[in-house]
Structure 1
Amino acid sequence: MTKNMSNLDKGIRVIVAAVVALLYYFNVIEGTLAYILMAVAIILLVTSLINFCPLYRVLGISTCKIKN
């Protein structure tokens, strides 16, 4: 796996995951929507921790700066 995420991309993903977790904690989101959003938040958090997004690979996107 080659790194394909920039620091900005990772930061945004972590913030989105934290916001979803807080919304769930304060019961703003409930039920099926909450479970779906929490699953997405976990995926965003894991991809930010490993610096690799499989969807980016499929789409041919890389936000990581390439060093020459």
Structure 2
Amino acid sequence: MGKNVGNVDRILRVVVGLVLIALVFVGPQTPWGWIGIVPLATALVGFCPAYRLIGINTCGLKR
């Protein structure tokens, strides 16, 4: 399992994940905000299974 998420992509995923999780506590307070754990986890790990299936690699590392 190599990394396939680049730095810019990771930052965007962290921001989106935190915003979605914040919706659980502020705003409409719906449980759908917990879906923000997915982008947050993929950003922290640096690997996205969906990217592997599609064949996308935003990481600058050579294979």
TM range (shorter): 0.7 to 0.9
Please report the TM-score for the alignment, with normalisation by the length of structure 1. 0.79
Partner of 1:38: 34
Q: Work out the CA distance in 1 between the residues paired with 2:18 and 2:54.
A: 26
Q: Which has the larger radius of gyration?
A: 1
Q: Work out the CA distance in 2 between the residues paired with 1:58 and 1:67.
A: 18
Partner of 1:18: 18
Q: Tell me the matched-pair count.
A: 63
Q: Work out the CA distance in 2 between the residues paired with 1:29 and 1:6.
A: 32
Q: Work out the CA distance in 1 between the residues paired with 2:34 and 2:50.
A: 18
Identity of aligned residues (%): 38
Higher normalized contact order (CA 8 Å, seq sep 6+, divided by chain length) = 1
Specify every segment of 5 or more residues in structure 2 that has no aligned partner in the other structure, as ranges: none
Retained in 1: the 8 A contact 2:21–2:37?
A: no
Q: Work out the CA distance in 2 between the residues paired with 1:35 and 1:55.
A: 23
Please report the TM-score for the alignment, with normalisation by the length of structure 2. 0.85
